[in-house]
Structure 1
Amino acid sequence: MSLFIGVGTRTRRFLFCCLTTLALLMTAMGCNTVSTKPQLPAVGASIDNAANTRTIDSASSRTITPEYTVETSAPEPPPSSTVSSYRSPIPTDTITLLFRKEEDKAPKRLDPTSLAATAALERALLQRNYKIPPVSPDLLRKLDRSPNVVVCFAPDAGFSMTYAIQKSLRPDPGVNTYAAEVAIRARVFVGAGMLSVEEGRGTIRFSGNGQQRDYGERRAMELAAERAANSLVKRVVARLKSLTPIQIWEYADLQFDQATITGDEVLPPPSGEAPLPSPAQVHVLVIGVSDYRNASRLNHANYHNLNGVTVDMQNIANTFAELGIARNRINLLKDRDATAANVRAGIDAMARTAGPDDLLVLYISGHGMQANFKKEGMSLPVLYDFSMQNRESAPDFTELLERMTQSAADRFVMIVDTCHSGGAVSDLTTVVLSSQGAQLSKTKGAPSPGMVIRALDTTRNIAVLAASRLKEYSLETADGGGLFTKHLVKGLKSAHENEVLRDIVEKRVAEPVISTSREECNKHPGKCPTGQQTPVFGFSGGGDMICL
């Protein structure tokens, strides 16, 4: 308004009209005065409710145009001028596809509807210049036979999509026609980060009786699957094309990978910290599962019992007692007591009672397995009530470690003895997705200590010790206990006063476990994928300088 000071009323009105007209002309010509920054696509469900419908008259093979067609278009990618000029850190012209049956009543991979959907997905992506790595027939056959499938990601994983299919048939009221409906639901990943959950739907109507109806239903389902696939691909590609290289970097979490200790070495470089003083008090929680009949029943699988777990639990508890830790600060959760809820509650109780100069120790023995839709090496213990269908029953090692650190204590040790050679989690297929496509993972379920710790993004004094590397088994001894726990117990008992954890692991645990396991592996090569068992140690802060 200050522009109009000292100007007459008529003149002000004239100038105001001129400015208004000019603004309208600029808008019509596309002259935007405010630039917008592209937003990161939301992570979460993005549902396409499009009903792209045609009708087939199976008696005459005529295609009838429907009264109307409704299609919700996918969001368009941002203008090319908004895309960063930096090169993408992972391949952006390749996408790995993996069919994954998620419900008992859902169509199998070889169902005609599933085959039509898969072919349509591949065709639509190829038309958009994406490469699709092939999946080996052996892997597909194993996936078809396995009731439980776990998907994980290699460090070089790029774009990938796991998808499941649902189909239904419903009669139209009052007429002799049916609606064949197909939905394809997909999880879209960038590296190991889930970008979004997308869904494409297709509906085809048909009419007919007897054999003609059977043909019409099958053909309608195939066409509905093609419609659903095209709708899904349109949405997925729009999501992927909208990402800048920086956003891809964030989703793929590549900085995380660069800093991760992969477990190829027994010990990472030392922290350089001075030895921590002896803790005021030590609190110990020992968890073990030897009876897997309940978990087998819940998962319709065959999880072998582990008799050696009982021996390990007794040995580790007795050792800490001999080191002077009061029995009332050593708690055990075994078999029926080692449920997910009890484990969480036990860790929380231990964390609450600890003081600022205390040490918390968590020991876990039993089966282990790769965590679903996580990086390879992010694994979990198979607890007494574990179920593939219940996320709450499957806390991974990172979650358990994070619960420990919600404490006033200033040092934490997690010891994991899983993947026993005495029995594996059978009926379980683990697939790893990488830039080369989908392959069977060779991980046995042991955690990567460095990866588990760095997922917390902390500098607190934490140490994680695993009995073996990702692709190794933990061997048993003649008395039924684990080779790793046997030497861990010896190492703790023989350690001199104020000997730090790093030295105990390196000299008193890792060396004898490796040498003894090599002798056993020479006698029984089938037990040893790598020819030995290698304990792995990871830490943050001054975790390697903890004194027990």
Structure 2
Amino acid sequence: MKKALVVGINDYAPIGSGGPDLNGCVNDARDMANTLVICGFDPAKIKILTNQNATRANILNYLKTLVNSSVKGDSLVFYYSGHGTRVANIGADLEIDGLDEAICPHDYASAGVIRDDDFKAVLSKLKAGVNLEVIFDCCHSGTGTRKMDLGLDLELSYEAPRFIPPMLEDEFYITYASEMQSSRSSKKTASMTKALVPVAGMNHTLWAASKDNQVSMEGNMSGQIRGYFTYHFCKILRATNGNIVRKTLDKQIAIALAGMGAAQVNQTESITTEFSQKIFS
């Protein structure tokens, strides 16, 4: 069975204008859901959470249900379009243990972000023989920009980063991360290489809109505000009805992003054998 959880957040708390709002994420979620149907997903098996429904609790609860209710042979998708950030991972001994990438739910300012570690706890329950594609169209790093004019003037030149600046305590550690001995140093090195990143023991495939030192952008695509990565991801899947191997999809997205001059390079992580297999299989 094919099942999906699709999340898109334009409206960050407070509801309405006032938060660090975006403009293309709900459009992305709609396109992703429709594209999944074309790729053989039953609409009744696609759960969509947008804006104020996409709280931290809802996202985690629906993701847990998606993972825990699956059985061998199922194909799952978790898609997120919205803001990302990075946070320092503080161990129980108050030592800095690397940097966590995180996504920002609608209520992140009050409920907190959803970290790498939160996802690992849920995904560790994934049963053998279940396929899972995790797709993030958000920024995961503070390196690219401090720009927060996620503005209201939607001209043809409109372009905005899907990025929340880290809080001071996190920004401080990020600044000195290269000088600090981190348990993640090997992963950090891998993340700087070109797109396909083999990760031993990984039980899912991660599709990221940008490398962890880049920003993921949204802008005007044929008159509609869209995430650049999701726009091309869906366009290629629709053209192939999802009948495409992962490394080919990864390469075609990279070529499309480069062709439009986007300042981001998509990155795909999985175990090596998955790259040569069809997506959703």
TM-score by length of 1: 0.38
Q: What is the match of residue 33 of structure 2?
A: 317
Structure 2 residue aligned with 1:404, among 123, 134, 145?
123
Question: Hey, what's the Cα distance between the residues in 2 that align with 1:535 and 1:367?
Answer: 16
Do residues 486 (structure 1) and 231 (structure 2) align? yes
Query: Shift of residue 517 of structure 1?
Result: 2.4
TM-score by length of 2: 0.72
Query: Shift of residue 339 of structure 1?
Result: 1.3
The amino acid across from 1:375 in the alignment is: G
Cα distance change on mapping 1:401 and 1:330 into 2, 3 Å: farther
CA contact (8 A) 2:85 2:166 kept: no
Structure of higher RCO (CA pairs closer than 8 Å, 6+ residues apart): 2
The amino acid across from 1:331 in the alignment is: K
The amino acid across from 2:57 in the alignment is: A
Question: Hey, what's the Cα distance between the residues in 2 that align with 1:335 and 1:417?
Answer: 15
Q: What is the match of residue 513 of structure 1?
A: 257
SS in 2 for 1:476: strand
Query: Shift of residue 385 of structure 1?
Result: 1.7
Q: What is the match of residue 547 of structure 1?
A: 279
Q: What is the match of residue 329 of structure 1?
A: 45
Question: Hey, what's the Cα distance between the residues in 2 that align with 1:476 and 1:397?
Answer: 23
SS in 1 for 2:108: coil
Query: Shift of residue 511 of structure 1?
Result: 0.9
Question: Hey, what's the Cα distance between the residues in 2 that align with 1:293 and 1:359?
Answer: 33
Output aligned runs, 1:227-242, within 5 Å: none
CA contact (8 A) 1:449 1:464 kept: no
Query: Shift of residue 346 of structure 1?
Result: 0.3
Cα distance change on mapping 1:541 and 1:512 into 2, 3 Å: closer
Cα distance change on mapping 1:499 and 1:314 into 2, 3 Å: same
CA contact (8 A) 1:460 1:542 kept: no
Q: What is the match of residue 305 of structure 1?
A: 21
The amino acid across from 1:349 in the alignment is: T
Cα distance change on mapping 1:351 and 1:435 into 2, 3 Å: closer
Do residues 386 (structure 1) and 117 (structure 2) align? no
Output aligned runs, 1:143-222, within 5 Å: none
The amino acid across from 1:380 in the alignment is: A
Query: Shift of residue 482 of structure 1?
Result: 0.8
SS in 2 for 1:348: helix
Do residues 469 (structure 1) and 211 (structure 2) align? yes
Do residues 395 (structure 1) and 106 (structure 2) align? no
SS in 2 for 1:542: helix
How many residue pairs get aligned? The number is: 231
Query: Shift of residue 287 of structure 1?
Result: 1.3
Structure 1 residue aligned with 2:160, among 422, 427, 431?
422
Question: Hey, what's the Cα distance between the residues in 1 that align with 2:98 and 2:16?
Answer: 25
Query: Shift of residue 333 of structure 1?
Result: 1.2
Cα distance change on mapping 1:398 and 1:537 into 2, 3 Å: farther
Cα distance change on mapping 1:499 and 1:402 into 2, 3 Å: farther
Cα distance change on mapping 1:474 and 1:485 into 2, 3 Å: same
Query: Shift of residue 361 of structure 1?
Result: 0.9
The amino acid across from 2:98 in the alignment is: K
Query: After the TM superposition, which of the residue ranges 309-318 and 351-360 deviates more from structure 2?
Result: 351-360
CA contact (8 A) 1:461 1:542 kept: no
Give a deviation string over 1:412-470, Cα, whole Å, max 9, x none.
11110013852542584412224658xxxxxxxxxx599xxx9xx96254211111122
Query: Shift of residue 536 of structure 1?
Result: 0.9
Q: What is the match of residue 355 of structure 1?
A: 71
Output aligned runs, 1:443-454, within 5 Å: none
CA contact (8 A) 1:415 1:464 kept: yes
Question: Hey, what's the Cα distance between the residues in 1 that align with 2:106 and 2:88?
Answer: 18
Cα distance change on mapping 1:465 and 1:401 into 2, 3 Å: farther
Structure 1 residue aligned with 2:266, among 504, 527, 535?
535
